[in-house]
Structure 1
């Protein structure tokens, strides 16, 4: 949830001091964003968040003591959990899918343009996942090949009402709240209420995990 002032508070987590410094310097200069803290490994994230509450965590995947997947899972289990964007050097990183399943709201390549990173931070703070279409397609295909994923996803989605199912599929298609509202002829407030119920019934923490289930089920 974005800060009440409208400023998005960011915690930068990376074991490379130069990367941390670069991200912090770049984001602190972006409109509506402030970097409130840094951490050099996943095991330092809880203390950093206790000292500096954040709305979004930029999380490196590969760190020596506690990796970004485990750290993301721990972050998302916190009360009033911040959103997480995982950072990776290569779009083929096999750990990205696991990070998304751990509750990350999206991922970025470390060489993304500064404006893209700032845009992603603002979007995720507003509840919109950031997923590169080309890379995400490959991740979804890999997710669908996991043993039993198709059956488990189908069973989970069967617990939704007809309208909730439509909303879930629309999330899987990458539609924003406004696009879902227009597509299903609903108000944005009603869409948000449906999304809250979908998250609760599916037992997931964010829209990205809903999208993964929808793709696992073969509905997109």
Structure 2
């Protein structure tokens, strides 16, 4: 090992790998996903479970950064497990993995606190990218599913007949950012659209979540539509 010479700065240490738990009742899929993810230098699979109840227990013990969670499982399905995990550790990011592209499943996953939603036919690159994106605090959903989610939001808004409740006031810029989040844009795309820095977008999103007392970008959109804070046309 070469020692640093006087006046030289040592190279910064590589960040710790993202710690991931995989929860799926199909052993072949679960083990295959683990093997593939562990080929990534910045991702480490720290545990796996075969049902929602066992997955919730495991997550509470190892406290990973990200959980990959199947929607359909015995002993508490993925939606139930998502809610339970969020109660135990609200900061853990959850990506739902499913064969289903049904709007109802997607909608329930968002309400439960999921930060991502991927179909099981996604490539391993898509999955590893999703792990990195949600670990940074962003949400990830395929464009086709985002469109379905927006349809569900619009329908929910039309059905809503509840009395108006005073809501936290968002600035015009925050509403602008929220509209773009609702269209499925990530921070970089929003920054380009509004001609501002990506860090500024992150700050706006953080302020929106704090004001609404929510945990994810998708929850913020859901709340905003329900409370008539914006219109999605």
Task: Name the TM tier (shorter chain).
Answer: 0.7 to 0.9
CA shift for structure 1 position 214: 5.4
**Number of residue pairs aligned between Structure 1 and Structure 2:** 216
The partner residue of 1:97 within 107, 118, 141 is 107
CA distance change for structure 1 residues 56 and 100 in 2, over 3 Å: closer, same or farther?
same
Q: What CA distance in whole angstroms lies between the structure 2 residues aligned with 1:96 and 1:174?
A: 14
Matched, 1:86 2:99: no
Cα displacement string for residues 175-214 of structure 1 (whole angstroms, at most 9, x for unaligned residues): 3323333433444333322211201222321112223445
CA shift for structure 1 position 141: 0.8
For 2:8, the equivalent position in structure 1 comes to none
For 1:60, the equivalent position in structure 2 comes to 70
Name stretches of at least 5 consecutive residues in structure 2 with no aligned partner: 1-13
Q: What CA distance in whole angstroms lies between the structure 1 residues aligned with 2:103 and 2:70?
A: 12
Report which of the two structures shows the higher radius of gyration computed on alpha carbons: 2
Q: What CA distance in whole angstroms lies between the structure 1 residues aligned with 2:207 and 2:175?
A: 11
Q: Is the 8 A contact 2:60 2:89 kept in 1?
A: no
Matched, 1:15 2:25: yes
Q: Which has the higher contact order (CA 8 A, sep 6+)?
A: 1
Q: Is the 8 A contact 1:173 1:211 kept in 2?
A: no
RMSD: 2.6
The partner residue of 1:128 within 128, 138, 148 is 138
| Secondary structure at the counterpart of residue 68 of structure 2 | strand
For 1:169, the equivalent position in structure 2 comes to 179
For 2:153, the equivalent position in structure 1 comes to 143
What TM-score comes out, normalization by structure 2 length?
A: 0.80
What TM-score comes out, normalization by structure 1 length?
A: 0.84
Q: Is the 8 A contact 2:67 2:92 kept in 1?
A: yes
